[in-house]
Amino acid sequence: MKIFILAAGFGKRLRPFTKKLPKPLIKIKKKPLIHWNLLKIRKAGFKNIVINTHYLSNKIIRSVGSGKKYGLKITYSHEEEIKGTGGALVTAKKIIQKEPFLLISGDLWSDYPIEKFLDFKLKKAAHLIFVREKKSKDAYLEAGIVKNSKTKNNLTYAGIAVINPKIFKGLKEDYYDLWTDLLQKYVKQNEVTGEIYSGDLINLNSKKELNLLDGLVVE
């Protein structure tokens, strides 16, 4: 199974740290966040990685390279215009090809055991990882099926998912949001499964979270 890392964003909520660096290159214990994630990916047993780029893309490519130093094979999907979390997948569909893949946000750090997805058999359009948060609420689960209701939603998408490329089959390259534009159709058809994760998981969006990460990441 391939892994697709979303790394094209501007990281505006983390300014001024991201004024000269894309968010995946912000340093945790003197090494870029993406470095820690790639080490975790290698340790889990994955080999083929796709990274999408836009903002300061040359810095990501220069830092990560071909992936050889991580024991990985890395392919880049560059966006001249930013395409969103869903449009990134549409743009890279020739690289992704037809098999389900693991999607990970590039500004995410978690101790979630991604190795469980090495031989994962995706039976639906997608399988999403959720966390319980007080702020935004995207969905709720009913017998493992993702549902959406303004009155019942109690979970937030965590930035980790297994995706069947059929969700963007036939779509033209454009700006798409993964949750709103690509997945909602399949949620309505009961074609998206999910699970709740209660371990360590941080989306890097503030200095507070940066400090938290510094305490969580272990060499």
Which residue matches tokens 């702020």? Answer: 135
Whole-number pLDDT of residue 12: 84
Pairwise CA distance, residues 85 & 93, whole Å = 13
Angle between helix 33-44 and 57-64 (nearest 10): 50
C-alpha 114 chain-centroid distance: 12
Over the stretch 53-84, which tens digit does the pLDDT of each residue have? 999 999 999 999 999 999 999 999 999 999 99
Whole-number pLDDT of residue 210: 81
Identify any residues that bridge with 111 across adjacent strands, giving them in sequence order. none
Over the stretch 147-194, which tens digit does the pLDDT of each residue have? 998 889 999 999 999 999 999 999 999 999 999 999 999 999 999 999
Whole-number pLDDT of residue 70: 95
What pTM value is reported for the model?
0.94
Which residue matches tokens 């935004």? Answer: 136
Residue ranges per structural domain of the chain: 3-216
Over the stretch 7-21, which tens digit does the pLDDT of each residue have? 999 888 888 878 889
Whole-number pLDDT of residue 4: 98
Class of domain 3-216: alpha beta
> How confident is the prediction for the chain on average, in pLDDT?
93
- Provide the Cα torsion 185, 187, 191, 195; round to 10°: 150
